[in-house]
Amino acid sequence: MTETLSWQTWQDSWDRQQEWYMPDREERFRVMLDTVEALAGPEPRVLDLACGTGSITDRLLKRFPGARSTGLDYDPVLLTIARGHFEGDDRAEFVTADLTDPGWTDAVDGPYDAVVTATALHWLDAEPLRVLYGQIRGVLKDGGVFLNADHMTDESAPRLNAAAQALLTARQERAKADGARDWEAWWTEVADDPALSELAQRRFAMLGDPRKGARPVGDRPTTTQWHLDALRERGFAEARQLWCSHCDALVAALR
C-alpha cells in the first residue's frame, strides 16, 4: 500500500476482516442493540468498552440517532481510525484507557444505561476479568445492562461444535482464496499505511505484533457458563445468554 486510505475505508476493511472470522457478526449486534432498546429506550447513554474502530458505536448511532456513546480503548491505531471515522459527530467521544489499570473508570463519566463490548475481553485472564466485571457494574445505572459478545462455548456438545467449526473453516479457506484478509493481513496493511505506520509501531510495542501470530494463551475463560457465574459473583442481579453460535455467545447482565 503506497497511499493513505480514508477512515471510512479502514472502518469498512476492519468490519470485513472481523466478518471473515464471524459471519454472523451483524446478528450479534442486532440482538445486542435490541436488548439496549428494550431496557434503555431509543436514546441510551452507552459505554462502548474496548471499542476498537467503533463498530458497535457506528451501529448504535445509525439505529438510535438520539443515543450517545463513549468509546474506550487502549490501541492507538484502532482509536485513531474511530476518531477519524466519527469526526464532527458530537454524539460519540473516545477515550484512551487500559482496562487492566484499576483506574480506567476515572476516564469515563458514568453512570451509563448500557455497557457493551464485542470480541475483546477474551484477551483477559480469568482473575483480571472477574475484577473488570465488578468495575463494569460500578459504572452502570441501577437497572443498567452489560452486554458482552465474545468467544464462548458450550462444551457439552463437542461433535456439534466440531462439525460447525469444520464448516466455518472451509468457508474461511474459500474466502481467503478469493482475497479476504485475516487478522495478520489486516495489520500488515496498517503498518504499510503512511498515516498509521508510526502508530502501528507504537501499538506493536505496547500490545504485541499481530503479524507474528497469536499471543500465548494464559488462564482465559472459554465457556459461557464461566462468564454467567462470574457476573453473578460480581454482584449483577441477573445474567443469561441471549444468543450463541458454536463458538461465540452474547451474554447480558443486569445491575
pLDDT tens per residue, range 138-161: 999 999 999 999 999 999 999 999
> Mapping DSSP to helix (H, G, I), strand (E, B) and coil, where does residue 68 land?
strand
pLDDT, average across residues 34-59 = 98
Instruction: Give 254's strand partners.
Output: 145, 238
- At residue 219, the pLDDT reads 85
pLDDT at 251 > cutoff 70:
yes
Written in H, E and C, the secondary structure of 147-215 is EEEEECECCCCHHHHHHHHHHHHHHHHHHHHCCCCCHHHHHHHHHHCCCCHHHHHHHHHHHCCHHHCCC
CA distances from 118 to 57, 156, 201, 203 (A): 11, 24, 25, 20
pLDDT over 70 at 79, yes or no: yes
Q: How confident is the model at residue 213 (pLDDT cuts 50, 70, 90)?
A: confident
For residue 20 the three cell numbers come to: 471473515
Q: Among 1-15, 17-31, 93-107, whose mean pLDDT is lowest?
A: 1-15
Q: Mean pLDDT, to the nearest integer, of 195-220?
A: 88
Q: What is the pLDDT of residue 3?
A: 53
- Note the pLDDT tens digit of each residue in 87-146: 999 999 999 999 999 999 999 999 999 999 999 999 999 999 999 999 999 999 999 999
- Give the CATH number of domain 7-254: 3.40.50.150
pLDDT score of 215 more than 70: no
For the chain, the structural domain boundaries read 7-254
